[in-house]
Amino acid sequence: MAGTKRYAVAASGQWTDEEEGRRRLPSGEVHAWEQDRNETVCGLSLSRSRLARFPHVGWPDTFPESGGAADRVRRVCPRCASVAGRRAPDARPRWRRIDPRP
């Protein structure tokens, strides 16, 4: 069984958090990004779109309910969110086939 993918963040802007020791954080529009790739999950080229990479920030930290690095995030890419996941804590469990046909 394949493990779950871990997505990093690519964003249109950045800011520095002075409280956490001058840590670089994403701002503006954020996209999910797999490391060692030159494109986002939704297919945007990182260099042509001028997106900054944040390999130290995980994708779940960009959502406001996480309390992570989402202070200055303006928009989460809906295509990236559908692929990488954006599940609310009270959401129904994902559909799963219990008894597949032969």
Q: What are the tens digits of pLDDT across the range 81-100?
A: 888 877 544 456 667 778 87
Residue identified by tokens 């009270």 is 90
pLDDT greater than 50 at residue 1: no
pLDDT tens digits along 49-86: 999 999 988 888 888 777 777 888 888 888 888 888 77
Q: Please provide the average confidence, as pLDDT, over all residues in the chain.
A: 82
Spatial distance between the Cα atoms of 85 and 8, rounded to a whole number of angstroms = 12
Amino acid at 91: A
**Per-residue pLDDT, 10:** 94
Question: Has this prediction a pTM greater than 0.95?
Answer: no
